Amino acid sequence: MIDQQLMAPLAIEQHGGEGVLLGLLIIFASAKLMAELFERLRQPAVIGEIFAGILIGPSVLKWVEPTEITNVLAEVGVIFLLFTVGLDTQTRDLFRVGKRALAVAVLGVIVPFLIGYLLMEWLGYDWLGDHSKIESIFVGAAMVATSVGITARVLGDMGLLHLEVSRIILGAAVIDDVLGLIVLAVVSSLAEGGIDYLQIGITAGLAIGFTAFVAIVGGRVVTRVSHRVQNLRLKESHFHFALITCLGLSVVASRIGIAAIIGAFLAGMMFAAESRDTGLLHRSEAVMEFFVPFFLVNIGMQLQVESFLSTQVIWLAVIVTAAALFGKVVGCGAAMFGKKWKEVLQVGVGMAPRGEVGIVVAQIGLGLHTISNEMYGIVLFMAIMTTMIAPPLLKVLFREEQRTLGSEGGQSDEAVILG
Q: Would you say how long the chain is, in residues?
A: 419
Distance from C-alpha of 393 to C-alpha of 379, rounded to nearest angstrom:
21
Q: What's the pLDDT score for residue 6?
A: 42
Residues 6 or more apart whose Cβ sits within 8 Å of residue 166 = 155, 160, 350
How far, in Å, CA of 371 to CA of 378, rounded?
Answer: 10
Q: Are 168 and 148 in contact (CB under 8 A)?
A: no
Dihedral sign, Cα of residue 106, residue 112, residue 117, residue 122: positive
pLDDT score for 138: 85
Q: Is 235 left (phi over 0), alpha (psi -120 to 50) or beta?
A: beta
Cα–Cα distance measured from residue 355 to residue 292, given in angstroms and rounded to the nearest whole number: 13
pLDDT for the residue numbered 157? 85
What's the average pLDDT block by block, 10 residues per block, for the chain (419 residues)? 44 61 93 93 86 90 89 91 86 82 92 92 63 80 84 86 89 84 79 73 85 87 83 84 94 85 89 80 90 90 75 86 94 89 92 82 76 81 88 91 72 42
**CA-angle at 272, arms to 271 and 276, nearest 5°:** 105
| CATH architecture of the domain with residue range 70-292+310-418 | Up-down Bundle (1.20)
By three-state DSSP, how is residue 402 classified?
Answer: helix
- Mark out the alpha helices in 257-354 (DSSP H runs): 260-270, 280-301, 311-334, 341-350
Residue 10 φ/ψ, nearest 5 degrees: -85, 105
Contact 100, 166 (CB under 8 A): no
pLDDT, position 37? 94
CA 253 to chain centre: 15
pLDDT of residue 15: 53
* Residue 64 β-bridge partners: 10
Bridge partners (DSSP) of residue 10 are: 64
Measured between alpha carbons, how far is 207 from 228 in angstroms, rounded to an integer?
Answer: 30
> Which string of b and e fits 263-275 if b means at least 16 CB within 10 Å?
bbbbbbbbbbbbb
Rounded Cα distance between 341 and 348, Å, is 11
User: Domain-by-domain residue ranges, the chain?
Assistant: 70-292+310-418
Which helix (DSSP H) or strand (DSSP E) does residue 67 occupy? none
Closest CA to 79 of 303, 324, 252, 276: 252
